[in-house]
Each structure stands twice: as C-alpha cells, then as structure tokens.
Amino acid sequence: MKRKETCLCLCLLMILFIACSGEKKKEDSEKGVETVLPDNKNEVTVIPLRKQVFNHELVSNGKVAALGFADLHFQTAEVIVHIWVKNGDKVRKGQKLAELDKFRLGNKLLQAKNALEKARLELQDVLIGQGYAAKDFEKVPDATMKLAKVKSGYDQSKADYDLALYEEQHATLVAPFDGTVANLFSKPMNVASTANVFCTLMDTRSMEVDFSVLESELPLLKKGDKVQITPFADVSAVHEGSIAEINPLVDDKGMVKVRARVNGNAKLFNGMNVRVSVHRSLGEQLVIPKSAVVLRSGKQVVFTLKDGKAMWNYIHTALENADSYSIADGLNEGDTVIVAGNINLAHEAPVSVVKNLQTGRK
C-alpha cells in the first residue's frame, strides 16, 4: 500500500514539474518574439507625386578631338636656324614658329628670276621674228603665243621661278590659325625633314567629342541636344556643348557615331577620354526619385503612404536619368510616395513620416 502511494506521489511531482517547465518556455518564447519583433513604426521620407519636366539622360564614353588641327611641315630640307615656340605655347594666326636658313633658297630664287628675264627676251625675239611689233604682243593669237613660249622656254622658266619663290616664302613657318603648339621635337641647327611633321597646331578653344550610341537610342537624339562632357582625368570639371552631327550609318555592332561640339576653354586635350551625358527634355511626366523603387521578386515596387500604412504598388518605369525614373503605369498623380526607409517595408506596414520632401516639414 505504501509502495502504491509512493509511486502516485512521484507521478504527481513529475506532472507538476513538466507543467512549470512548459509555462517557463512559453514565457521565454513570448519574450523572444517581443524582442525580435518590436512594436515600432518604420520611419520614412515621402514626397507627393506630381508631373514635372523630365530630362532624359543618355550616357556614353567618347574621345576628344581638336576642331582646328594641322600638322605643319617644311617644304625644303634646309638647316633650321630659328625656333621661336615650344610645346604648349599659345600662338596667334600668322605668328612665326620657326625659320630655315635662306641662303640657298635666296640664291635659287635669284637664278630663277634671271632665267625668267632671259626667257622673256627670247619670247620677244620669237614674236618679232613672226612679224609682230612689241606694241602688238597682246594681239598675238593664242596658238601662236603658246608656240612662241615653248620655243623660248618661257613657260619652264616661269614654273621654276614660281617654285623658287614658293620655297623661299615657306622657309618661315607661320601659324595658319590661333592655337596651341604640340609635338614639337626638332632642334635648331638640324636639317628639317620634309617627310616628317615639324609640329602640330591645335585650336583647343573649340573641341569635338566623338562617341557612339545604340541604334535603339537614336529616336532620343537630335542635332542641337545639350551635352555635358566630364574628363575621366578630372571628374570635377564639366564642359557643355551640343550635338553637331549624327552619322547616318549603323555599324555591325549596332552602334551609331555621334559628334558633339564643346567649348573646352583650353582645358581639354586632343585624344582625352571623357564621359558624355546627353540631355533632352521630354515634357511633363510623372517622375519619382530612383530611391523610391525597390525590387521584390525581380519586379519594380513603389510604396505609397495611405492612412499611416505603406501600400505595395507594382509599377513600370519608362525612361531614366541620373537620379529619376519616369512612370509608365502603376501610380497616379497625387499619390504620396515613400522615397526613403522603404528597403524592408511590407504591405500595410505601419509607418511614421519623418520628412516630407515637398514641404520640407518633419
């Protein structure tokens, strides 16, 4: 009898222990849930959705080229006696750059001039021998005059004189336009090469930028569209220009060449790599900041504010620029869009507005 009573007591104690343990685990579980899921509202920033002018932005990489560009050569292989400029110098149109030794060229010109005078006398003798007086030379028929010039050697002497005069005049190299000197490596007292470039002159005030766009982007471009040029070497420097040419040819990679004119302010170098940003106004559209769009299962979602809760909206964007999207469908004008604090939101999650970007109120 005592043995049965002892077993019964042990069973009751075990039941009581299990019940107490279950209550403790339940209390711990509830505390854990409360810790993991606090009853705090998500703090968000909102903005009213309004129509505004949307500027489409197309971004590409390009290369700078000087609008005015000339490789300058000497016409004769004579010794360079003077070089008045160096690389990087700014020069004006007509300014002297370098000069050759003119002794041989001057002597050659004098000989050619004497030969021409002699040929002129020979021409007169031929015409007089044909029965024409000196005062009637202007009345000589063209065929007779041509034959007389060949017989006297006048045409050949005139060509030799013109060439000698040209070489003597071009012994001094001058700037054909305002620009900057580059690629000047020759030294004085060395013979000039007629095959190699003496120096390059570039007009860096006006520059061209060549870049490529996809053929699908052609409808978004037209001549005169504004462009911004940012050199990779200095991302803080921005130069403005406009599209000057669109090459009407699509290459085998589906790309189209575009050329823009830009004011380089003498700070862009020929051959410089740049980032090209083309801007074009597409009129008033519904526009939202890029921060308002989040991805859910690969789809674009925007949360709007309604009655203190975040409402889930699937949307489709049309175009984009550096910081905004234009909306094709999914939202209506006047909706209050959540633009910050939306990363971990769920549908109908309670939210607290900390700032309205339209009014600036917190």
Alpha-carbon distance of 340 to 46, in angstroms, equals 7
Mean per-residue pLDDT for 99-106?
A: 92
Give tens-digit pLDDT for 166-208.
999 999 999 998 888 999 999 999 999 888 999 999 887 778 9
Q: Which two tokens stand for residue 277?
A: 């940003």
Give tens-digit pLDDT for 290-345.
899 998 888 899 999 888 889 989 999 888 877 888 888 888 888 999 998 888 88
Q: Minimal CA–CA distance to 167: which of 136, 141, 194?
A: 194
The pLDDT score that the predictor gives to residue 134 is 64
Domains and CATH numbers, the chain: 42-54+284-356 (2.40.420.20), 58-66+201-281 (2.40.30.170), 78-199 (no CATH)
Percent of the chain at pLDDT > 90 equals: 32
Residue with tokens 């982007």: 217
Give tens-digit pLDDT for 31-57.
443 334 445 678 888 999 888 888 777
Neighbours of 171 (CB within 10 A): 22
Alpha-carbon distance of 349 to 312, in angstroms, equals 10
At residue 96, does pLDDT exceed 80? Answer: yes
The pLDDT score that the predictor gives to residue 209 is 93
Q: Where are the beta strands (DSSP E) in the chain?
A: 42-48, 51-72, 80-83, 90-91, 96-100, 172-174, 179-182, 199-214, 226-231, 239-250, 255-263, 273-289, 293-296, 299-306, 309-314, 316-320, 324-329, 336-340, 349-356
Alpha-carbon distance of 238 to 322, in angstroms, equals 15
Give tens-digit pLDDT for 225-281.
888 899 988 888 888 889 999 999 999 999 999 999 988 666 788 889 999 988 877
At residue 130, does pLDDT exceed 80? Answer: no
